[in-house]
Amino acid sequence: MDDAAAFLGSYKQALAQEVVAGGIWPPELVGLYEPESCLKHSGAKEVYLVTDRRTGGRVVLRASDLDAGERADVEHVILSRLDFPGIPKTYGTFVKDGRSYLAREYFEGEPLDQVIARGTFTPPQILQIARQVCAILGYLHAQDPPVIHRDIKPQNIILRPDGSIGLTDFGIARTYKASSTSDTQQMGTLLYAPPEQYGYAQSSPQTDIYALGIVMIYLATGYPDRRDFSTRIADARLRSLIEKCIAFDPQDRFQNVQQVLRRIDSFKTRRLRRALGIAAACCAVVLLVVGGWFVANNLLGGERQPAGTVLGQGDGTGNEEDGSGGADGSGADGSGAGGAGGSDGDGTPGTTGTPGTPSEDSDFLSALSNADYPSINNPRPGTHNWLYDYNYAGNLQGNINNGGFAASADNGSSLFVISDGSIYKLNNKGDVVAEVYSGGAKGGLNICGTNLYFTDTRGTIRRIELRVGFNVTTFEDIRADKIYFDNGRLYYTDILDNLSLYTCKTNGATPTLTDVAAQAYYSNIVEGVRFYCDGTDGNRIYARELSTGKTALVFDKPATWISVWNGRIYFGDSTESCLSSIKLDGSDYQVVYGQPCYYLVASTRGIFAVDAIKNELFVVGFNSGNHQVLLDESVEFCVAGDWVVYRNRNSDTVLGMVRQDGTESKLFPAPAATG
């Protein structure tokens, strides 16, 4: 490990200690997010870059005191109304103990104040940036009532690798009130704030136009000083544009951003995306050198929530429309999901209604016991543990939630691993014996019978026949995120929301919507029952029988990383900050490990997980016994055969393997070793 990696590792461990053990974050957030870095700490507010433990995506987490001027929950109210490129999505808000928290979309890129450290922008580049900011402001100001950002400055404008612009920090944004004569609070950054933000008048669209003018001065000169700026900017067209933007009296400025855009267009400026792209390319190189914070990620996991909802929660009422499918039933849960079709999936799906709050079925909850669901609670008759019967149940449920980049076959004697887009077959000694697929493999690795399934970078499911020359079949009409097998049937989550559950034949035929859950995280599908954390209900654990839609609340507190194994649900208890377990009906609560954990995988040896405070991979016995550290690193992992295969989070490169009992570890063999 080089010095930079060692430093980042120690920094993240210290930060985790501070926010988790130090009690800075409430337990509800510890179970949902892993801190990567503190981006800003100023008085009563902090801004963190975090990893969403449910999706693996990067998220910005803002925290502020309730008496602070820039309240995170108020920003959520503003963002929840908005939907426009370049404006971050809000994933929810949370208020506790005098503090408010906001989880929002993270923009890959670099703030303009960091980009300009390498040199000022040219006039054409400045005009291109101004045009993009105007497009965002035009959308904001067109709302009813208009939304005024009030803090337009280089630190809040993100230059993304493709040259596009993102606008962040809506903490002091307000809606325009025609009847008001002044702002109730004087907010904003002094150098970019117009006179009306300091008591002269109410903030209005001209407020943001003024700040945009100061930003253009900054980009051209390196400093946001309006005094004698015309002597420091040679381009007459740019000077005239800025002068109109920053007039003292709002009535003397451009009256709306459309006028700004028309002035820019009057310059007959060529499209300058290429020029701006050069700056973005330089930005990308610097980001990689700094430590890879801005590696491209899909950050759209989670759905925009209505104002005032708890982090990850939502509201809504079901509008049930039954499906006309076969005996697998219809949307009886209020989700409006159609029937799953008959046992072969040949039924026609019904119309999907608006997702709603699951209806609880007390009889179904009581049925989740050894007597009524024997094949979930005990090894399947006639086989060894049924969770390793790949003709029946596919990959381990925990592996699926951890990215699905490793699985085992042939009763654990063969391993399949995805690394850098290729799929390798290994023997149980950990040696590569073949490269079975080259280029484009992403995740979702699963096995049914003699077939290997996975998703490519587009979300297309592909199937490899392992005993017929590694022939590949592509399911062109399916776009999936996670792949499950249950009772020999294929299930998958839709790549568009990573939540809606579909089922189809093992050859990809007759895909049918079988379950709609607005935010169903950490799904496990076992014997026709979907166990999941409901993001619309505080991440409490639910069970839903897919054939009937019967739904039961199993655990009445926030939870994460559930993994079903032999009649028990193992999960991260967000309230108690520990690894716990319950029976399928929610009874017999037990603490398995007394620290917050993530990446849980239940297997024959015990529970594998990463300690959120110590940042180490460990395995613990099912009854709080035989705790053993396997790796002194915080990694993403899958359990396959006798091995635990691991990689860095947000990386497609497998780093190494360690035996489940800790007796052997090795680096992942280089592709050159294949043969």
Whether 498 contacts 299, CB under 8 Å: no
Whether 306 contacts 314, CB under 8 Å: yes
Whether 196 contacts 183, CB under 8 Å: yes
Euclidean distance between CA atoms 188 and 186, whole angstroms:
7
| β-pair type (607-611, 157-159) | unpaired
User: How many Cβ atoms from other residues are within 10 Å of residue 297's Cβ?
Assistant: 17
At residue 387, what is the residue type?
L
Closest to 173 in 3D by CA, of 139, 208, 131: 208
**What local confidence, expressed as pLDDT, does residue 643 receive?**
94
Q: Is residue 590 helix, strand or coil?
A: strand
Low-confidence ranges of the chain (pLDDT < 70): 1-10, 21-22, 43, 68-69, 174-190, 195-202, 268-360, 370-393, 496-499, 517-519, 624-625, 650, 670-675
Q: What are phi and psi of 163, to 5 degrees?
A: 90, -5
| β-pair type (559-565, 501-504) | unpaired
**What local confidence, expressed as pLDDT, does residue 497 receive?**
59
Dihedral sign computed on CA atoms, order 38, 39, 44, 50: negative
Residues 6 or more apart whose CB falls under 8 angstroms from that of 231 comprise none
Closest to 585 in 3D by CA, of 397, 376, 364: 364
**What local confidence, expressed as pLDDT, does residue 129 receive?**
95
Euclidean distance between CA atoms 532 and 260, whole angstroms:
50
DSSP 8-state secondary structure symbol assigned to residue 19: I
Domain 362-669: give its CATH code.
Answer: 2.120.10.30
Q: Per residue in 405-444, pLDDT tens?
A: 999 887 778 899 999 999 999 988 899 999 999 988 999 9
Domain residue extents for the chain: 3-105, 110-290, 362-669
| β-pair type (597-602, 590-593) | unpaired
Q: Per residue in 139-180, pLDDT tens?
A: 999 887 889 888 899 999 999 988 899 999 887 776 544 444
Dihedral sign computed on CA atoms, order 227, 230, 231, 235: positive
* DSSP string of 506-563, one letter each residue: TTS-S-EEEE--TTEEEEEEETTEEEEEEGGGTTEEEEEETTT--EEEEE-S-EEEEE
Site of tokens 């050894």? 370
User: How many Cβ atoms from other residues are within 10 Å of residue 470's Cβ?
Assistant: 15
End-to-end CA distance of the chain: 29
**What local confidence, expressed as pLDDT, does residue 107 receive?**
94
CATH topology of domain 110-290: Transferase(Phosphotransferase); domain 1 (1.10.510)
Whether 513 contacts 339, CB under 8 Å: no
**What local confidence, expressed as pLDDT, does residue 175 receive?**
53
pTM, whole model, 2 decimals? 0.54
Domain 3-105: give its CATH code.
Answer: 3.30.200.20
| β-pair type (460-465, 628-631) | unpaired
Euclidean distance between CA atoms 252 and 201, whole angstroms:
14
Token readout for 360 is 């609880």
**What local confidence, expressed as pLDDT, does residue 177 receive?**
42
**What local confidence, expressed as pLDDT, does residue 373 receive?**
58
User: How many Cβ atoms from other residues are within 10 Å of residue 312's Cβ?
Assistant: 27
**What local confidence, expressed as pLDDT, does residue 189 receive?**
58
Q: Is residue 77 helix, strand or coil?
A: helix
* Overall residue count recorded for the chain in this entry: 675
Strand (E) or helix (H) holding 383? none
